Amino acid sequence: MKIRKAVFPVAGMGTRFLPATKAIPKEMLPVVDKPLIQYTVEEARAAGIEEIIFVTSRGKTPMEDHFDRSPDLEEKLRCRGQIELLHQIESLVAEDTWSVFSVRQNDPLGLGHAVWCARDLVGDQPFAVMLPDDLIHPVTPDGQPVAPVMKQMVEQFERVQSPLMAVMEIPPDHTNRYGIINPSGPQDAEGLIPVTGMVEKPKPAMAPSHLAIIGRYILTPDIFPLLGKQRAGAGGEIQLTDAMAGLLKNHLLYGYRFRGVRYDCGTKSGYQMGNLALALEVPELRRYLLPFIRERLGYWEKMPPA
Ligand code: UTP
């Protein structure tokens, strides 16, 4: 079955970025010259996804505006002859081949609840879930281009027809920040790992592995009744991983070791790293940044460690 729809849970308050996110959504913070949300929407489109479903809350309309027409701006760019910029702006607008929908999450009851809010728009077909906080740059750590992550995952789904979630190896002492999978067998040649269970934010001593779930999933619609029945789990929120564990009754479930470099742009450090890494790939920015970084390193290396 083809994956046509992707749910973007973007109703969170982004408190870790306050005061920057007081009046603008976290997803509109720029990485180099594009807002975070645009990277993930482009990733979805590269995977052949036709319907983007934003699960939003108060104050998130700038995100919807970003993918809508802007007649005044377009006219101004046309008059000034800034045609390349005009094409970039026009290409953001949903058209015949894809659409943007949105639905409200009235109470911030957690990621699982946000996904549940999209149930009527998703309907009765497998779908993707994509968290824009996780910026997954489609290159290997040594800079070789790879397919965008959701495209990789759609290909794996077409092969196994089972729910999957992106996973990556994390340092053992970080397990209490993530959902962690319990693998039931080795990774296959394509990067899929069969899973017997998941634990949300376990202490390092209790963690079944060091493979953390990252914000890309392909799920089947039978997740919705499970989410609907669910009580709050770790952190007092309705967790997606808890409901996914319920899918194990009827499905094989896989972790997918994706290719690409992930920046956790929900944290200040990950956001800065993402900005720096992507800026260094732009030749005219690299020209200024590299000498600046060398000069700053020279300064900080002389200082005592923090
Ligand atoms: P986070 O907890 O990382 O995002 O949720 P947040 O709440 O926006 O950020 P902080 O912690 O206050 O800084 C992960 C993803 O789940 C969405 C968020 O928007 C983010 O994309 N989410 C979370 C919801 O849509 N609804 C929720 O109730 C909780």
Chain segment 161-200, per-residue pLDDT in tens: 999 999 999 999 999 999 999 999 999 999 999 999 999 8
Give me the chain's average pLDDT, please: 94
Q: Where does the pLDDT of residue 305 fall: very low under 50, low under 70, confident under 90, or very high at 90 and above?
A: confident
- The residue-averaged pLDDT of 260-270 equals 97
Instruction: Quote the tokens at residue 99.
Output: 């659409």
**Residue 231: per-residue pLDDT:** 76
**Residue 230: per-residue pLDDT:** 79
Structural domain contains residue 294: no
Structural domain contains residue 243: yes
Q: Is the CB of 144 under 6 A from ligand 1?
A: no
**Residue 1: per-residue pLDDT:** 78
Percent of the chain's residues with pLDDT above 70? 99
Structural domain contains residue 129: yes
Q: What is the pTM of this model?
A: 0.94
Domain that holds residue 106: 5-282
Question: For the chain, where are the E strands, in sequence order?
Answer: 5-9, 30-31, 34-35, 51-56, 99-104, 127-130, 134-137, 164-169, 179-183, 192-200, 211-219, 254-257, 261-264
- Distance (angstroms) between ligand 1 centre and the Cα of 11 equals 6
- Distance (angstroms) between ligand 1 centre and the Cα of 83 equals 37
Q: Over 80: is that where the pLDDT of 23 sits?
A: yes
Lowest mean pLDDT among 16-25, 46-55, 144-153, 240-249: 240-249
Structural domain contains residue 154: yes
Q: Is the CB of 133 under 6 A from ligand 1?
A: yes
Structural domain contains residue 254: yes
At 198-234, the pLDDT tens digits run: 998 999 999 999 999 999 999 999 999 999 987 776 6
**Residue 234: per-residue pLDDT:** 67
Is 240 within 8 Å of 163 (Cβ atoms)?
no
CATH code of the domain covering residue 141: 3.90.550.10
Q: Is the CB of 55 under 6 A from ligand 1?
A: yes
Structural domain contains residue 57: yes
The secondary structure of residue 13, as a DSSP letter, is: -
Q: Total domain count for the chain?
A: 1
- Distance (angstroms) between ligand 1 centre and the Cα of 245 equals 21
Structural domain contains residue 297: no
- Closest atom, ligand 1, to C-alpha of 26: 8
